[in-house]
Structure 1
């Protein structure tokens, strides 16, 4: 996670410390807010600067934040994703009507 290491170095240089896990979460919330505005712009509900490139950038920022948070909390995100998708699939299937009836 080269970018994370670089941000740590930059924050240490500028502020004398690195971000806490809570601060990463708050940064992620800011990114999600920015993403929401861009989606609204893409749907015509507000003016959107930067077009699709800005939307791509913000989606990547959000994904990066999720990956960093998983790393900070020592979560195997790939395994957690697989497990969660399996659980969701089973839950959805259980709520669907039986197609043979």
Structure 2
């Protein structure tokens, strides 16, 4: 599955949430509320990572829970990019190119003998 397919699936779920929220609350989530939902998911993910690393009590379904929270976070990122009209694929590729250049330049300054 490529990014476009993931985006389409994420938008389908987004639309279902909008429909549900209209029925139950008479309004849809704002961009700010999507961001807050993402922050909650990121917090849940942090707790699961801590559990995986032994810093918290692990759940019996920790692997499935970790997969679920990572998927929730990805969904939120895809939806936030959509809600702000961003081309996430281009932004990701551009950012990775910038990071690769920056990190490579720093590694070149250190030199292979110090690595």
Deviations 1:66-97 (A, max 9, x none): 00000000000000000000000000111113
Residue matched to 1:93: 104
Across the aligned residues of Structure 1 and Structure 2, the Cα RMSD in angstroms comes to 1.2
Residue matched to 1:77: 88
Give the whole-Å Cα distance in 1 for the aligned partners of 2:112 and 2:45: 38
Instruction: Give the number of equivalent residue pairs.
Output: 100
| Correspondence list, 1:14-53, <5 A | 14-49=24-59, 50-53=61-64
Bigger Cα displacement from structure 2, 48-57 vs 70-79: 48-57
Give the whole-Å Cα distance in 2 for the aligned partners of 1:48 and 1:77: 33
Give the whole-Å Cα distance in 2 for the aligned partners of 1:99 and 1:26: 43
- Structure with the larger helix share: 2
The alignment status of 1:61 with 2:72, answered yes or no, reads yes
Q: Which runs of 5+ in 2 are unaligned?
A: 1-10
Segments ≥4 residues shifted beyond 2 Å: 97-100
SS of 1:45 mapped into structure 2: coil
Give the whole-Å Cα distance in 2 for the aligned partners of 1:56 and 1:4: 19
| Correspondence list, 1:4-15, <5 A | 4-15=14-25
Q: Which runs of 5+ in 1 are unaligned?
A: none
